[in-house]
Amino acid sequence: MSAASFLVVNARLIDPGSGLDRPGALWVRDGVIAALGEVPAVAAAAPARVIDARGRALLPGLVDLGFGLPADAADARAHLAAAARGGVTAVVSPDPTRVAAPGLPRIHAPPAAVTWLRPHDPAFGAGVVAAGAYATRLGLAGLPEAAEVAAVQRVIAAVRTGREPHHLARLSTAAALAQVRQARAEGLPLSCDIGINHLHLTELDIGFYDAHCHLRPPLRTQRDRMALAQGLADGTIAALVSDHTVLGPDDKLAPFAETVPGAAGAGLLFSLAYKWARDSGLPLARALACVTSGPAALAGLAGGRLAVGAPADLCLADLDDDWLAPPAAPGAGIAATPFAGMMQPGRVCATWVGGHPAWETSF
Amino acid sequence: MFNPQLDRGGALAHLLTTEGLPRRLLEPLLARAARLLAQPAAAGPAAPAPGALALLADPPAPLLHDACARAAAQRGMALADPGAPALPRGRTLPDWLGGLPARGIGTLVLRDRASGAAHLAARLAPPGLRIVNGGDGPHADPVAALAALLSIQAAHGGFTELTVAFVGDLNHAPAARSLVHALTTLGAPQLRAVAPASLLPEGVAALGLHAWPDADSGVADADVIVPLPCVDAASGWALTPERLARARPGAWVLPAPDAAACAAVLSALLASWQEGA
């Protein structure tokens, strides 16, 4: 029996892909899920590690479709380790860095068969916040929603003509989402995702020039946020992503418009998906599908599900525990998130990648 | 709601913007500045005061420099060199701000090209350092706005019965934007943004302004006319002598801010902080 073999008992098994949500056990043998549901006799008899997960939920490891990686390999490992602390076992990153190490989340490039892009039309200027009354109030250049809508319109026209699948990364507006919904209703091969910040925050969260809320696309109105949440709940939006951005120590220490857009998101994906489920009353398995089976299917990955034969990419979480996102000291890039210093629901106790521990804490 | 320019006791810790500046702070500050403007020579303390004043202006601002020099002299304070051409960016910023009190600087008047620069400096300011926003890009210029309030008060006696017409581009007029917020707080009943639609700020109503798409009627029955930049004479929106001649008797065009009024505002601010220290 290798290190990548263990038995988890008394867990709340949640498999968003199949809708499974019931107590049970899960047996990992040689990095693969060998059995789940009841404790198999062979596992019970074997001298493997047995983890009593009473009171905790065992779910597929999270698949993060939007995760920026630094070029330096050691730095990249630190960012991946931070992601693992939030239950992530696979990331899709456009960055060329490849860090292969056991016990770290897997890195995948966007699928080659799908055109993967961020919808933004630069003709609408270089606004740093959503155009509107709040931008006026702050004296900051506004980016109109038309910058996203025009880009999405062009993509839809291209998909309609060529029938080649496209993925729109990081939608932010209700208007663009409405177009995507209509295109999907026509049967066009179009998918999209949104970031955790846009699911939970609006332009008002910028407050008094909080540079952690300088994002691209910019945070928008409450109406947009509600539309995105609805789109995520009804499946129009296939994935919720951390949109983790690599930030240097200087990047957020400047007046708002001069800061580098983006925010750290490593380690937050599970808690913010769970918070959304809790706040909206959505069934937990349905919400978690947006960070597991949904993105795995989009990226063509084998993970994101609890099934016999699937890789043992797993996340064990205490749903009743809260944790504090570390306050962001000035210049702290990896903690530079709008959620810094806030309590987050749902604590990830352990993350396994291929059965190897990527993160384990007391449980 | 958290207000970054107030301390936990609700007193003014920094002067960053007139937006959300409570009336209970604004009115005494104005009253004191008016007294100092009337009698600047009689205002100074007997002994030199600790805590120098420094001005960091990028781009350079001669009028603001003059005002700072006058205010420092009135308060018995030194006018110190901030030691940098512009507000540093990046990791050096917290260290640079943190070093100012050790160099004897207690108040930093900051003019910067970027909106939010003063808020950033205030957020990172160490204990013992106060930030005064001397203009942050197109966002705000509360010192100039308070100086304008002194002029309006001197001309009209108060603010509660005024119709004020801002004529031109408010997007690039920080002093006027700050004046809008202050006049709203002080109860001016009607503020007009008189400009073509292309120059009106988005969400102008949220600023407390009535969008007024006609220059003649916008100016005609106003008590105070605030000329703003960027109105092309050829566009038909300029404040021509003919248009002003059609304004009602007693209508008054706000003059450009002068150093004496800005100095009175700064001096009143410094005096209140000296008393509270």
CATH for A194: 3.20.20.140
Q: Do the beta carbons of residue B140 and residue A139 sit within 8 Å? A: yes
Q: What is the pLDDT of residues A119-142, one digit of tens each?
A: 999 999 999 999 999 999 999 999
Helix, strand, or coil (residue A291)? coil
Q: In the prediction, which pLDDT does A37 show?
A: 87
Is A53 part of a structural domain of the chain? Answer: no
Mean pLDDT of all residues in A315-333: 87
| Amino acid in position A334 | I
- A131 shares contact with chain B (CB less than 8 Å): yes
- B223 shares contact with chain A (CB less than 8 Å): no
Mean pLDDT of all residues in B44-49: 62
Min mean pLDDT across A41-55, A203-217, B46-60 is at A41-55
Tokens of B27: 């009115």
Q: CB distance B138–A136 less than 8 Å?
A: no
Phi first, then psi, for residue A124 (nearest 5°) are: -90, 15
- A26 shares contact with chain B (CB less than 8 Å): no
Q: Which domain holds residue A278?
A: 61-305+322-343
CA dist B270 and B69 (Å) reads 13
Helix, strand, or coil (residue A235)? coil
- Comparing alpha-carbon positions, the chain A residue that sits nearest to B3 is A208
Q: What is the pLDDT of residues A63-119, one digit of tens each?
A: 999 999 988 888 889 999 999 999 999 999 876 566 667 789 999 989 999 999 999
Q: Which of residues 238-297 of A touch B (CB under 8 A)?
A: 249-250, 253-258
Using the predicted structure, report yes or no on whether residue B142 has a pLDDT greater than 70: yes
- In this structure, what DSSP letter does residue B15 have? B
Is A72 part of a structural domain of the chain? Answer: yes
Q: What is the pLDDT of residues A252-289, one digit of tens each?
A: 999 999 999 999 999 999 999 999 999 999 999 999 99
Tokens of A262: 């983006």
Mean pLDDT of all residues in B218-224: 93
CA dist A86 and A345 (Å) reads 12
Count structural domains, chain A: 1
What is the torsion angle, in degrees rounded to the nearest 10, for the CA atoms of residue B196, residue B202, residue B208 and residue B212? 10
pLDDT confidence bin for A47, thresholds 50/70/90: low
CA dist B12 and A356 (Å) reads 56
Name all domains of chain B by residue range, CATH numbers in brackets: 23-142+259-276 (3.40.50.1370), 144-253 (3.40.50.1370)
Of A137, A207, A255, Cβ closest to residue B120: A255
CA dist B2 and B6 (Å) reads 8
CA dist B179 and B18 (Å) reads 8
Tokens of A87: 């239950």
Helices B174-185 and B23-38 meet at what angle, rounded to 10? 110
Q: CB distance A208–B4 less than 8 Å?
A: yes
Terminal C-alpha separation, chain A? 23
- In this structure, what DSSP letter does residue A347 have? E
CA dist A24 and A157 (Å) reads 48
Contacts of A329 in chain B (CB under 8 A): none
Is A192 part of a structural domain of the chain? Answer: yes
Q: How many angstroms separate the CA of residue A205 from the nearest CA in chain B?
A: 12
Is A139 part of a structural domain of the chain? Answer: yes
Q: Which residues contact A275 (CB under 8 A, 6 or more apart)?
A: A200, A344, A345, A346
Q: Which residues contact A332 (CB under 8 A, 6 or more apart)?
A: A249
Is A19 part of a structural domain of the chain? Answer: no
- A171 shares contact with chain B (CB less than 8 Å): no
**Segment holding B167, helix H or strand E:** strand B163-167
